[in-house]
Amino acid sequence: MTSASSNPNLRAIANTGTQINVSPVAGKASLQWRHYAIVASFLCVVCLPVSIVAIYMFTRAADQFVSRFAFSVRSEEMSAPMDFLGSLGAVSGSSSKDTDILFGYIQSQDLVSRIDQHVDLRFAYSVPSDFIFGFHKDGSIEELVKYWRRIVRVRHDSAAGILDIEVRAFDPEMAQIIASLIHSESSEMINKLSVAARNDATAFARLELQRAEERLKRARAAMTEFRARAQTVDPAAELGVQSGVLAMLMQRHTDALIELDLLSEITSNRDTRVAQAQRKIAVIEGRINEEREKFSIKPSEASAPGFSSLVGEFENLMVDREFAEQDYLSALKAYELARAEARRKSRYLASHINPTRAESPEYPRRWLTIGLTATFAVLFWAMGVLVYYAVRDRR
């Protein structure tokens, strides 16, 4: 211990006669009630929850097996035959929109209901001893969908268009069966989408084809009705025949006139040959007039059409039928092109990892769960202790 004689500061204070107040020496430390409270809180907040979690994880939590599979939706677009580059083969690519649809479909109530019809999901995931990771048998479909999203994990790589799916079950065979059902239902959904896309692509062309077909039927029916009413197959052909007859009659009329002129020069008008030639000319002229009347409507028989009106009506019907045939051929060609285009753009499910069968359980991750519980419990307890001492020091 330093004496006052050896310490110059103490000697100076002693010489001045100043009184020094010295605090009493601290006593021996002892445990207070707050220390016992902190230990008790550590046991209640940390040790007890961790012990409960550990006991549950090792005694009641059932083993969970995992089946994994992965696929992508590929679109096969065959190029047109006239395309030079298309002759090299098909162009294959992934469809991100279809994988987005399947991503939502796999987690939907529709898929859960369809799989529940094949496999009793409530029974498959019912474990009486494990009420945390299991599912109760009397759960509603909404609760089953929520549980489904816990046991079926879907990871979507939007850049590559790949879906990676993980299915958990308390039996390895059941996990593989459910994974296979998800795969088949997804493939069926893609097939439905392809059929719907093809129907949409060909719907308008099909309607146009039906309209053109009805127009052609009406044009042909009108032609048939006209032929039955006019009792002729082709008025134009008959008109040609009548024109030939008229031309022949006119030629004969000309010959008869020439013959009459020759007879008039060498004989008198009282000659019988002149009278015969005149009668012949009159008969030919009468026949010519009759043939000409066939080309128009007779004034006395306005309801009986002649060849000119029949031919005019026939030509109108022919024009309508030709336009209808051309329209039908164009619509048929457009429909075939639409069908070919729809067939070229086919989509299918390409699986690069088939549903696997587990040999050992992967879940629940007992030590990880216990470690996380302990970590969060310690952090919570430490924060509580720090808050307590901060409030105590402020007082």
**Going residue by residue through the chain (395 aa), what tens digit of pLDDT does each one get?**
445 455 555 555 555 555 566 566 655 656 678 778 888 999 999 999 999 999 999 999 999 999 999 998 887 655 444 443 444 444 444 556 888 889 999 999 999 999 999 999 999 999 888 888 999 888 899 999 999 999 999 998 888 889 999 999 999 999 999 999 999 999 998 888 888 877 877 888 888 888 999 998 988 888 888 777 766 666 665 656 666 777 787 888 888 788 777 777 777 667 777 778 778 888 888 777 776 666 554 444 444 455 567 767 777 888 888 888 999 999 899 888 888 777 766 777 888 899 999 999 999 999 999 999 999 999 999 999 999 888 887 76
**In this structure, are residues 7 and 1 in contact, taking their beta carbons and an 8 Å threshold?**
no
User: HSE on the CB side for 242, CA within 13 Å?
Assistant: 20
The residues pairing with 66 across neighbouring beta strands, listed in sequence order, are: 168
Q: Is the dihedral of CA 370, 375, 378, 383 positive or negative?
A: negative
d(CA 346, CA 75): 6
d(CA 333, CA 209): 9
**In this structure, are residues 381 and 46 in contact, taking their beta carbons and an 8 Å threshold?**
yes
CA 352 to chain centroid = 22
The DSSP line for 120-171 is -HHHHT--TT-TTTS--TT--HHHHHHHHHHHEEEEEETTTTEEEEEEEESS
DSSP state for residue 234 in the 8-state scheme: -
Sorted by sequence, the CB contacts under 8 Å of residue 340 that are 6+ apart come out as 80
